[in-house]
């Protein structure tokens, strides 16, 4: 642990404090992750990636709804507002399920 501080002091004296704080924060994260089973880590990482990809696909679908319209036109369009409302309800339901 002291070896890392010596490297920070020798090569980056201006940024020593910032690097030391980042190093200490990584040790805290490592202490929390170490007791976890390898399968748990792989499952959580895969699940998070899957959820992000689903959210990105929804966002891509949502972005295609503009069809080159001006923002003011989209705000006044009732069909667009209905789609936005359904999209927000879907996102809130998904996030509430993820928190459980």
Residue 21 has pLDDT above 60, yes or no: yes
Answer whether 9's CB lies under 8 Å from 16's CB. Answer: yes
Answer whether 16's CB lies under 8 Å from 8's CB. Answer: yes
Residue 57 has pLDDT above 70, yes or no: yes
CA distance linking residue 54 with residue 50, whole number of Å: 6
Highest mean pLDDT among 19-23, 33-37, 71-75, 94-98: 19-23
CA distances from 100 to 10, 18, 35, 48, 93 (A): 47, 35, 22, 14, 11
**pLDDT tens digits for range 23-55:** 888 888 787 777 878 888 888 889 889 888 887
pTM: 0.44
**pLDDT tens digits for range 62-74:** 666 666 666 677 7
């Amino acid at each position: 642990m002291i070896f890392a501080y010596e490297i920070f002091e020798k090569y980056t004296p201006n940024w020593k404090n910032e690097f030391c704080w980042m190093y200490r924060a990584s040790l805290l994260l490592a202490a929390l992750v170490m007791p976890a089973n390898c399968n748990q880590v792989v499952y959580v990482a895969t699940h998070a990636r899957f959820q992000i990809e689903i959210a990105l696909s929804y966002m891509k679908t949502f972005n295609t709804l503009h069809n080159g319209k001006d923002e003011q036109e989209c705000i006044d369009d009732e069909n667009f507002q209905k789609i936005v409302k359904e999209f927000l309800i879907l996102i809130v339901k998904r996030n509430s399920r993820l928190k459980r």
